[in-house]
Structure 1
C-alpha cells in the first residue's frame, strides 16, 4: 500500500497500455446531482454532464490505452446501477471504454477482492472505498505484485463471463 495516493487523473496519464475497472457495488455517490436529475426524469448527456471524465477517458483512449470496465450487478438493478446502465452508451462507450455487465448470481464462484478497483498497466492497483450507502471515502494505491496479480486475475475471470453492454438486458 502506498502512503501517498496519486490522483486518478495522474494514474491514467501515466498509463501506457491498459486500465481495467471492476465495480461491485449497487450504489455509488447517491448525492451526485446528475444522478438526482436522472431520477427526476432529466435526459443525461454524458459529455455535457461529465465533461472532465469524458475528456480524460477520450484522451487516454486516443493515446492507445485500452480501457475496460466490468460491473457486477444485482438484478433487478438498483436505482444507481440503472442510471449507470442508461448513461453507459453516451458516456463510457462514447469516450472509448469497453463495458461489460455480470449479474451477481453468475459471479458466485469467482474469487474477488473486497473492494472495487482499477488496475493500471498490470502494475498498479487503486482500490476505492465507499460508505454503506455508496459515498466515496477514500482510496489506496498498491504496487505489490501479489495484489496486482489477484486483481488482474479476478478482473479477467469476471470479464470472460461478462455480457457486452450492447447485448446486456437487465432483468
Structure 2
C-alpha cells in the first residue's frame, strides 16, 4: 500500500533537501493550472504575469543562493496542448528565479521508454510520486524511499535530463511549428 505524505508537509521537501530537487512532468495538463487566474490570463491574452514574487519563486531563489539545484523536465506533445503551452510560457518566471526547466518531446520520451509518472526526486535518495485522477486532479503524493525504486527514478532523471532541451531553445522549436 502506498505511503502518502500529509499534504501539509509537501512544501517542507523543497526547503529540507540538501542538494537537488528534480521533477518529471508527464501529463498533458493539470486541473490546478486550468483553474488558476494565471492560466485564464494566458488563454485570453497569451501572456503570463511577471509574478516572480510568488512563494515558489522566492523559495527557489533562496535554495539556489544556498547552492542547491531545482530542476525539472516537462514532456510535451507535438502539437502541444494549451496547458503545455501555458507551462512553457510560465517557465520563464521560474527560470528567472533560478529553477532550470527543460522540455522533451513526447515522441523522444517514448523512445527513451520514460514512464508516464510525475514525480519529484530529492537528493537521489527519496521521491514523491504524484498521483492524479483521469481529470488531472491531484490526489496526493506517495513517499518513496525504497532504494530500488529511487534508483529507477535516478535512471529516469538521467535519461530525461540528457535529452531535454532548455526552455528558450524548446520555445523556438514550438514557435517554428505553429
TM-score (norm 1): 0.89
State the distance in 2 between where 1:156 and 1:42 align.
Answer: 33
More helix per residue: 2
Rounded Cα–Cα distance in structure 1 between residues aligned with 2:67 and 2:125: 17
**Aligned position for 1:37:** 41
Query: Number of aligned pairs?
Result: 169
Unpaired runs of 5+ residues, structure 2, are none
Alpha-carbon RMSD across the aligned residues, in angstroms, is 1.8
Separation in 1, partners of 2:95, 2:13: 20
Distance 1:5 1:141, change over 3 A: farther
2:15 equivalent in structure 1:
13
With 132-141 and 62-71 compared, the bigger mean Cα shift is at: 132-141
- 1:67: which partner in 2? 70
Residue equivalent to 2:79: 76
3-state SS in 2 of match to 1:47: coil
CA displacement at 1:69 relative to structure 2:
0.8
2:57 paired with 1:54 = yes
- Greater displacement, 118-127 / 28-37: 28-37
Provide closer, same or farther for how the CA distance between residues 76 and 114 of structure 1 changes in structure 2, counting only shifts above 3 A.
Answer: closer
- Structure-2 change in CA distance of 1:110 and 1:163 (3 Å): same
SS for the counterpart of 2:72 is strand
SS at match of 2:78: coil
CA distance in 2, matches of 1:5, 1:166: 36
Distance 1:163 1:34 in 2: 24
Any conservation in 2 of the 1:19–1:118 contact (CA below 8 Å)? Answer: yes
| Conserved? CA contact 2:4–2:141, under 8 Å | no
Structure 1: gaps (5+ residues): none
Q: Write out per-residue CA displacement over residues 68-115 of structure 1, whole angstroms, 9 at most, x where no aligned residue.
A: 1101111111001101111111x2101101121110111223233442
Q: Distance in 2 between matches of 1:143 and 1:162?
A: 26
